[in-house]
Amino acid sequence: MTTNQSTAEVNQPQNTENGSSVASSQPTVKYPSADTLLAMIQSEYDIEASRKRDLETRTGVLIALLGALIGFYATAIDFSMFKKANSSIEYLCFTLVILIYIFPFVTFFLSMKKFIDVLQTKSYKRVGIGGVSEESGVKPNDELSMKLAESYRAVVMDNEKANDVKALQFKKGIILMYFSLIGVIVAFIIKQIVTLII
């Protein structure tokens, strides 16, 4: 009985030492939330890429529509009626009408310029493959995920600024297009009035 007890006492510290060595051999996680942060920033990266595509797609459609409107308006207006002016007052009135006729052309082309600015290539950044190496392959997963998340964050912030500029140009183009359409309506109303008077 005494022999068994002494044997258990000898084995007990050995088991404790083995348990502590197993616990110490487990790697410590420096960034436990790195995978969550990486997934979140990758989602934001995809959102900005989708935002860029949507802006450029809508801009392409509006450019085609503007081109059709410019062609229609150019063939619809008639300057021949201005030859009938006889007095200085009529010349002054016809000059004002001409300016009203020209206004939609100006806003058409300004709107077109804004839309073209949206389609111009901006300095969009990518994460790239520079960090893919054997050295990165042996790093702990949490450290690598955190490093990637930081790289994605810098890229997303730059792309967000570029998309904000595109969105601003798109908004200005839309406003100018509205003014163009209002100008076209006013020009046609004045054309009908002048035709009735003359």
Residue 132: band (very low, low, confident or very high) from pLDDT cuts 50, 70, 90:
low
The residues near 143 (Cβ < 8 Å, ≥ 6 apart) are 30, 31, 34
CA distance 89 to 193: 16
The predicted structure's pLDDT at residue 96: 80
Highest mean pLDDT out of 4-18, 121-135, 182-196: 182-196
What pLDDT was estimated at residue 113? 92
Taking alpha carbons only, the member of 67, 57, 59 closest to residue 172 is 59
With H, G, I as helix, E, B as strand and everything else as coil, classify residue 36. Answer: helix
Of 61, 45, 99, nearest to 77 by C-alpha is 99
Q: How many CB atoms lie within 10 A of CB 173?
A: 23
User: In the prediction, which pLDDT does 20 show?
Assistant: 46
Q: 15-29, 75-89, 109-123, 135-149: which range is least confident on average? A: 15-29
DSSP state of 123: -
79 against 181, higher pLDDT:
181
Whether the pLDDT of residue 83 is over 90: the answer is no
Q: Are 193 and 94 in contact (CB under 8 A)?
A: no
Q: Is the confidence at residue 173, as pLDDT, over 90?
A: yes
Say yes or no to pLDDT of 138 above 80: no
The region of weakest confidence among 6-15, 45-54, 118-127 is 6-15
Nearest-CA neighbor of 182 among 113, 114, 123, 106?
106
Which two structure tokens, joined as six digits, stand for 105?
């052309």
Reply yes or no on whether the pLDDT at 46 is more than 60: yes
Confidence of residue 89 (pLDDT cuts 50, 70, 90): confident
Beta strands in 18-141 (DSSP E): none
